[in-house]
């Protein structure tokens, strides 16, 4: 003998389904908004810069910034003519550092952090030195990598 469903059972089923659909409509977009998207960037170990040494020399600050994977880097020409590449994020609060050739330092404008051209923190609040990148020049091309050359 088949069990008959009552009108009350049908209404409970309808109310439960509507409640689940409402919760799903609220929670799904909320969770998608909170969760960061997957990064499409590959893990970079070496990078060919898009500019040449002559482009850096022509810059008034004698430096250029570049993107190294997710990180930001800065390449500059020292007083001795050497190319140096360093991380361009201050180790204090991740502000971008800039070259101050008039002072001979890398300077973080956020809290007056100062680094020498070797990346060592010389004054201000930065707790650590800047990460150094290896620089290789092949012809006119400049390659930057995380490993020491």
Q: How far apart are CA 1 and CA 25, in angstroms?
A: 39
Is the confidence at residue 1, as pLDDT, over 70? no
Q: Are 146 and 129 in contact (CB under 8 A)?
A: no
Q: How far apart are CA 114 and CA 47, in angstroms?
A: 26
Whole-number mean pLDDT of the chain? 89
Is the confidence at residue 78, as pLDDT, over 90? no
Q: Give the CA count within 13 Å in the CB-facing half-sphere of 142.
A: 22
pTM: 0.68
- List, in sequence order, the alpha helices (H) in the chain: 7-34, 53-58
Give me 85's structure tokens: 């590449």
């Amino acid at each position: 003998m088949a069990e008959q469903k009552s009108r009350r059972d049908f209404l409970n089923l309808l109310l439960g389904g509507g409640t689940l659909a409402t919760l799903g409509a609220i929670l799904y977009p909320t969770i998608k908004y909170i969760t960061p998207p997957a990064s499409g960037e590959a893990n970079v170990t070496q990078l060919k810069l898009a500019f040449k040494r002559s482009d850096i020399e022509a810059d008034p600050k004698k430096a250029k910034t570049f993107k190294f994977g997710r990180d930001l880097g800065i390449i500059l020409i020292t007083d001795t003519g050497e190319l140096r590449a360093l991380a361009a994020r201050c180790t204090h609060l991740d502000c971008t550092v800039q070259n101050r050739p008039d002072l001979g330092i890398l300077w973080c404008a956020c809290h007056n952090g100062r680094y020498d051209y070797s990346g060592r923190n010389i004054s201000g609040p930065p707790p650590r030195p800047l990460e150094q990148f290896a620089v290789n020049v092949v012809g006119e091309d400049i390659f930057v990598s995380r490993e020491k050359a």
